Structure 1
């Protein structure tokens, strides 16, 4: 059985895949384009080769394993038309992103950026605006593995984690969960709003001018999901009007963030370059999922992290 990898996970790991019974091709994702020797590839392990790789020409392709959680890069019509199974890396980046969320909440509550700037200027000036995380309400819009890992870590601060999911299903580490129909209630009471919901047609610009105005004026706003879940122009205007104690943004509607975006110059905005998922363990965790699924696939067992292409997650 032939498998195409667009990333080399190292000799030891690739040998382990071959021992399962696969013939492996490895082509760097940046250089990939369809060639005739891909005609009999049955399994594709990748992140986003779809701009240059026409998977519609891969007649034998049966399964795509993504190294990402999001699937918006995937040519969905081809996947549906050719009945290709799609699996993702759900849970693979949840721990570092969960840590990142807690870090950014604390950085904003403790005015770290402002104090670092004072340090550079050798300025000794006490900042009396610092806040405690203790007993603050952290509203997670989306309660998947990323939100769960963040909520788990917030327990140590005795913060109150509340979540929004499809049916209001109660989950471990959350004090209470609400159905998506009660999103407005959560936005109104949250001291921190964290976007961890998948991007779909239904969640495009879920956070718009109206929703932003529902939030507390001094709330903290965090987005690690997808930039297009937020109406970025409305967010910029909201921040320019003096709202929010701070915002931490790891994702944007256009990436890289345009150099003329007003977000760059805002003192109460922390910008990171879609970087929250990075850690020294990233390849270890994604490979565990890849190996487990490739073992299951060759043994005709159900795959983990299967994606519903219609729902988008």
Structure 2
């Protein structure tokens, strides 16, 4: 849907479907808008407008590598509607003056709720109950666990981890956060029992009944959870990944799950998405596959659009933007 004619260079170029209600709010801030949706599961479409004067690009950092900037050399700010920037942060973009912001924080609460759902499902043997329901098998003595007193280790203790920790404490669990900068949050606001540095990750793995991985995708985190680290985990512990798929060495995880080295895994993200139909994860009773849906909620669009509208106002008023990404760190 073009909001202005193709002869006029837009100030804002949007690469996803924007509901009419939000489009009208965008136009109140800047009338020069073009919307040309890209189905991000398909090939990148041709741009049909002149982008020589475009200043703002709204797109999906998980899929868009920003080749479009070759046609939009005056873009000052790119906002990703995803928190992940896997495709976007190329070396060319990292070394440019373009400001990158993302949807960090918009998905923290639903991801935290999804994490609690996965932890609870394993603790109460929900997958086994579902399987037995299909065969009408009445089994009262499943080996369920209580969450109160259990330890959850959150690897990558950022905004998502913070929201997970708050909910785990409500269930009387012990929480250990593990992050690059363990001093970042003040003690008065901190729900975790402990926050430690990444140099202590092996100790956290060894203590945790549930290991939640919420790491961003960076050069340092690719296959961060591998055979060596799985071997540090308790034999009866569970792995939950709600961060990025490439932070897990999937072949190593399959081997550990098959051998009983760890009890199970709840996975929302994968190295290849959609998860291939022949992948072992689909067929393992001790794995819950969730189709990269932890971020979703009934008010997801509202959260994302509220952030973008606030940033648009800030941009035109010359104020600092929210959620500006450190392009070198990758988040």
- TM-score by length of structure 2 reads 0.90
Change (3 A) 1:36 1:95: same
Q: Out of 50, 60, 66, which is 1:37 matched to?
A: 50
SS of structure 2 residue aligned to 1:113: helix
Report 1:266-281 matches (<5 A). Answer: 266-281=284-299
Question: 1:50-107: CA deviations, max 9, x gaps?
Answer: 3695322211111101111111110422323431100011100011110000000000
Shift, 1:128, TM fit: 3.3
2:250 is aligned with 1:232: yes
SS of structure 2 residue aligned to 1:163: strand
Which residue of structure 1 aligns with residue 202 of structure 2?
184
- C-alpha separation in 1, matches of 2:68 and 2:29: 27
- C-alpha separation in 2, matches of 1:17 and 1:174: 39
Change (3 A) 1:299 1:118: same
- C-alpha separation in 2, matches of 1:103 and 1:127: 21
Q: Out of 137, 160, 165, which is 2:174 matched to?
A: 160
CA contact (8 A) 2:257 2:263 kept: no
Which residue of structure 2 aligns with residue 220 of structure 1?
238
SS of structure 2 residue aligned to 1:279: coil
5+ residue gaps, structure 1: none
Q: Name the stretch that deviates more: 57-66 or 186-195.
A: 57-66
Which residue of structure 1 aligns with residue 133 of structure 2?
119
- C-alpha separation in 2, matches of 1:262 and 1:312: 30
- C-alpha separation in 2, matches of 1:29 and 1:111: 41
Question: 1:6-29: CA deviations, max 9, x gaps?
Answer: 223322221111111341111112
2:100 is aligned with 1:86: yes
- C-alpha separation in 2, matches of 1:202 and 1:122: 47
SS of structure 1 residue aligned to 2:296: coil
- C-alpha separation in 1, matches of 2:94 and 2:184: 32
Q: Out of 16, 19, 27, which is 1:7 matched to?
A: 16
Q: Name the stretch that deviates more: 92-101 or 46-55.
A: 46-55
Work out the number of aligned pairs and report it. Answer: 313
CA contact (8 A) 1:108 1:245 kept: no
- C-alpha separation in 2, matches of 1:268 and 1:45: 39
Shift, 1:32, TM fit: 3.2
The alignment's C-alpha RMSD in Å is 1.6
Shift, 1:191, TM fit: 0.6
Which residue of structure 1 aligns with residue 3 of structure 2?
none
Question: 1:253-293: CA deviations, max 9, x gaps?
Answer: 11111222111111000001111111111100000110010
5+ residue gaps, structure 2: 1-9
Q: Name the stretch that deviates more: 131-140 or 3-12.
A: 3-12
Which residue of structure 1 aligns with residue 5 of structure 2?
none
Shift, 1:170, TM fit: 6.5
Which residue of structure 1 aligns with residue 111 of structure 2?
97
2:267 is aligned with 1:249: yes
Which residue of structure 2 aligns with residue 311 of structure 1?
329
2:306 is aligned with 1:299: no
Report 1:139-178 matches (<5 A). Answer: 139-169=153-183, 171=185, 172-178=190-196
- C-alpha separation in 1, matches of 2:141 and 2:265: 19
Q: Name the stretch that deviates more: 297-306 or 71-80.
A: 71-80
- C-alpha separation in 1, matches of 2:318 and 2:111: 33
CA contact (8 A) 1:151 1:161 kept: yes
SS of structure 2 residue aligned to 1:162: strand
SS of structure 2 residue aligned to 1:210: helix
- C-alpha separation in 2, matches of 1:210 and 1:194: 17
Which residue of structure 1 aligns with residue 146 of structure 2?
132
Runs of 4+ that moved beyond 3 A: none
SS of structure 2 residue aligned to 1:248: strand
- TM-score by length of structure 1 reads 0.95
